[in-house]
Structure 1
Amino acid sequence: MRLTLPRVVMALIGVLLLTYAFAVAPATVAGRRPEAPPDRIAQATQDVLTPAVASESPRPAPTVFPPTGKAFIGVMTDKGPYDFTPVDGFTAAARYQPQVMLFSVGWASAPFDRSLFDQISDRGMLPMLGWEPWDQRIDEEGRKQKLANREIDKIRRNQPRYRLSHIARGDFDLHLRSWAEGIKSLGYPVAIRFGHEMNGDWYPWCESVNGNRPGDYVKAWRHVHDLFRDAGVTNVIWVWSANVRWNDSTPALAPLYPGDSYVDWIGMTGYYGSGAFSQYRSFDTIFKRTVTEIRAFSKKPLVVTETGAAEASGRKAEWIREAFRTLPAYPDIIGLIWFEVDKERDWRIVSSPAASAAFAEGVAAPRYDVTWSSDAVPRTEVGR
């Protein structure tokens, strides 16, 4: 006989009725209290007919980082996660715990090191990797020799081994896969800012130098992104980060953009106190043109991935205060990372009590009351 659900149910009901007839009913007749009253038999029958459904409490919605209407504040130092002393100084001066830490790694001599990411995460900060396809030692050597900045640019940007076309054709795939597997194993989000300021002429991955050609940057970016995707890496926030445009002498940004399906956050680098902005230029003057240009081809969230102010004209603290007054007018900017380094200029907020006080005053606003956690989901759409 073929077993079917109706037949199984009828058989079970029959067993229950026989149990009642031979055990419960005689006890009742004998004047004894029945051990299993009829209503329990009925309930047992109903239990057979009705499948049990396990009750599960609903899971809480994941935290979005940063929440809508908020913006995070991050920091970058010259020591990175190798020495947190500058981060501690920044935190004390700002009276504020940064939520993101940006640090740079070149491709020439840096195998994946999990401890760098864990140390940042353990301090309550999202690690943002500035991933730079070059031999950074050339830059370091030029600075030791105290060469002028433009002289250093000329030397370091000519590195044929790291041409964009070489990245796109797979010359570095073994290196990329080792990092992809390492980042995948972390189990928490990591932001990757690959080949930043590609619209300049000072890095070997800029399209205008090192034998690169138009379109090569997008091909290289997509190759790196797709390799991570094919390796099953799902915990990366991809950050495409250009230098701000101050006039038409620098390349337009749209041809360098790999597309919204390849990018989560759009970054911008802009400083007050050097180069085109040696004279006083407000935050709005430095960033507005670039924001407008970006919005013509993407609506992805914006992050100021590098900024700082020097004591040009003695107006550093003034610029910091003005910047924080202006930022709420840019609701699409979901984060700002301060360059806490004494390099070409002293960009640090710890450079003076006035700069520290101005920064502390700015980040005390409720808009920056944000906490990062390793299980937070990055906000990848404006307003969500």
Structure 2
Amino acid sequence: MKSPIKRIASTLFVIAIASILLIGIAFVGKESTGPVEDFFRGISGSVSKLEEDYILKKRSETRADKLDWLAEYKQNSDLLKNPDPVFLGAYDNQAIPSFQPIIDLEDSLGVTFPFIHFYTAWGSKREQRFPIEQIRAISTLGSIPFLTWEPWLNDFSEEEIPSLGSSEDRDKSGLKDIASGLYDPYLIRWAKEAKNTQTTILLRMGHEMNDPYRYPWGPQNNQPEDFVAAWRHVVNLFREQGADNVLWVWAPHLAYGYFEEYYPGDEYVDWVGTGTLNYGTVAPWSEWWSFDEIFAKYYEEFAAFKKPILLSEFGSLAVGGNRAEWYGKAFENFPQRFPQVKALVFFHNKNDATTTFQSLNWYIINDSETLSEIKKQFQTW
């Protein structure tokens, strides 16, 4: 066992390297995208790897060892287009910069997640560049990265994308601009970097495109055929760059229909995804819905696309009903009832302010009754 002095010294070393990284980034400046920033991004990757090596690999059975069976899926994306097992995963808003919160959730549930989910947006800011550090860290941990990629168009600079209109007008028919190639310089860089990761990546682009209230890429600004054209353009561009390791997750909102109109076609979609969140009675527009009421009635319609189904945001609040019972009934005989659902990703957000004026807490890690019910059902799968 390593002595306390050595452990303290190693920890101080990590802190020192991280401090140098932060100072360097601050010196480079917020908008820098040149070789100096690339250098510091490389250091950031080294810090992430050091953290993984030091903290995570000290466990008696490493996480990567538990996911040794997943290696073939990471190396050959074609295998993930028609998988046999049900892949579990999670998103945790506290998992920045370390994925330790997701590992804590795994420990609480007695599972190891093959998928780790996070969100990133389009744009010219540093945090909107290709997330190589997160991809590298997830892959090192043995999992497959699952990204939700949101086409917010107001964050692009005219230096990166020439001929941009005013930021106020970019969302109006923005999908037509994507399909026409206006954003290709940004997309090509993403495609090249995705290819260079040499690991399978699931990419959920422009989710809930049929929702007219939530996102600017919705029908309030675009027609369904605009979405289809933009989706196909982006997928074709990635393929032209050789990024065949990227799998495309098409994910409409369950409640707003028009699925066929927004479907880009079998050759452009690898997975069909959707969110399944129970908001309970937290807002005037919501009530306590069971998982069957949220998803089951749409299952056959989604299964008709003959693609593996991914429940990309799965969870329930505790306001308005019995949350443990909600999870228990959702997971009861799940593989038999929904054989085409091949992935389920927990939405584990402690401070979700994206939907209501109040911050919502989707965390289950401190809810012993809910954890116990989930584990009991998992044991029957």
Q: TM-score per shorter chain, which class? A: 0.5 to 0.7
Contact 1:96/1:363, CA 8 A, preserved across alignment: no
Alignment of 1:12-27 (within 5 A): none
CA offset digits 1:205-242 (Å, max 9, x no partner): 11x22x32231110110010010011111101110011
Partner residue of 1:263?
Answer: 269
Distance 1:80 1:175 in 2: 26
| Paired amino acid for 1:127 | P
Aligned-partner Cα distance in 1 for 2:332–2:170: 42
Larger Rg: 1
Equivalent position of 1:227 in the other structure: 237
Deviation at 1:276, TM superposition (A): 8.9
Corresponding position of 1:213: 223
1:204 aligns to 2:221 (yes or no): no
- The higher-RCO structure (CA 8 Å, 6+ apart) is 1
Q: CA deviation at 1:317?
A: 0.7
- Tell me what 1:77 maps to: 92
String of CA shifts for 1:318-354, please: whole Å, max 9, x gaps: 1111111042210000010000002153212214111
Distance in 2 of aligned mates of 1:129 and 1:352: 27
Residue 119 of structure 1 corresponds to which residue in structure 2? 137
Q: Could you tell me which residue of structure 2 aligns to residue 101 of structure 1?
A: 116
Aligned-partner residue type, residue 222 of structure 1: R
Map of 1:294 onto structure 2: 302
SS at match of 1:179: helix
After TM superposition, list the pairs within 5 Å mapping 1:4-15 onto structure 2.
none
TM-aligned CA deviation for residue 94 of structure 1: 1.1
| 1:115 to partner: Cα distance | 1.7
Q: Which runs of 5+ in 1 are unaligned?
A: 1-60, 138-155, 368-384
Matched residue of 2:252: which SS?
strand
Quick one: distance in 1 between partners of 2:168 and 2:345? 25
Q: Is the 8 A contact 1:134 1:162 kept in 2?
A: no
- Tell me how far apart the structure 1 counterparts of residues 241 and 260 of structure 2 sit (CA, whole Å): 28
2:318 counterpart of 1:308: no
Determine if contact 1:134/1:159 at 8 Å carries over to the other structure. Answer: no
Task: Specify the alignment match of 1:194 in structure 2.
Answer: 205
Task: Provide the rounded CA distance (Å) in 1 between the counterparts of 2:224 and 2:310.
Answer: 25
Q: Deviations over 1:259-279 (max 9, x none)?
A: 110001100112112469843
Cα offset for 1:170?
Answer: 1.1
Tell me which residue corresponds to 2:253.
243
Closer, same or farther: CA 227–121 of 1 in aligned 2, 3 Å? same
Task: Give the aligned partner of residue 148 of structure 2.
Answer: 130
Q: Distance in 2 between matches of 1:278 and 1:87?
A: 28
Q: Is the 8 A contact 2:145 2:201 kept in 1?
A: yes
Q: Distance in 2 between matches of 1:180 and 1:66?
A: 20
Of 291, 299, 303, the match for 1:283: 291
Gap regions ≥5 residues in structure 2: 1-70, 74-78, 156-166, 353-358
TM-score, normalised on structure 2? Answer: 0.68
Residues 158, 309 of structure 1: CA spacing in aligned structure 2 closer, same or farther, 3 A cutoff? farther
Equivalent position amino acid for 2:150 in 1: E
Are the structure 2 counterparts of residues 183 and 203 from structure 1 closer, same or farther at C-alpha, using a change threshold of 3 Å? same
1:287/1:230 CA distance change after superposition, 3 Å:
same
State the alpha-carbon separation in 1 of the partners of residues 187 and 173 from structure 2: 13
> In structure 2, what is the Cα distance between the partners aligned to 1:81 and 1:161?
33
Identity %: 31
Q: Deviations over 1:291-322 (max 9, x none)?
A: 222244x1111110111111133411111111
Amino acid at match of 1:336: L
For the 8 Å contact 1:73–1:100, the answer to whether it is kept is yes
For the residues of structure 2 that align with 1:132 and 1:80, how far apart are their CA atoms?
A: 19
Q: Deviations over 1:50-74 (max 9, x none)?
A: xxxxxxxxxxx95645986520110
In structure 2, the residue corresponding to 1:212 is in which secondary structure?
coil
Residues 180 and 228, structure 1, Cα contact 8 Å, conserved in 2: yes
Q: Partners in 2 of 1:339 and 1:303 — Cα distance?
A: 13
Number of aligned residue pairs: give it: 281
* CA distance in 1: counterparts of 2:252 and 2:189, whole angstroms: 26
Q: Secondary structure at the match of 1:321?
A: helix
Aligned AA (2:215): Y
Q: Please list the CA deviations of residues 76-101 of structure 1 after superposition, one character each: whole Å capped at 9, or x if unmatched.
A: 11145523232122112212111101
Deviation at 1:116, TM superposition (A): 1.3
Whichever residue aligns with residue 76 of structure 1, its letter is Y
* Higher alpha-carbon deviation: 194-203 or 346-355: 346-355
Q: Secondary structure at the match of 2:147?
A: strand
* Cα separation, 1, equivalents of 2:238 and 2:303: 27
Q: Is the 8 A contact 1:271 1:277 kept in 2?
A: no
Partner of 1:53: none
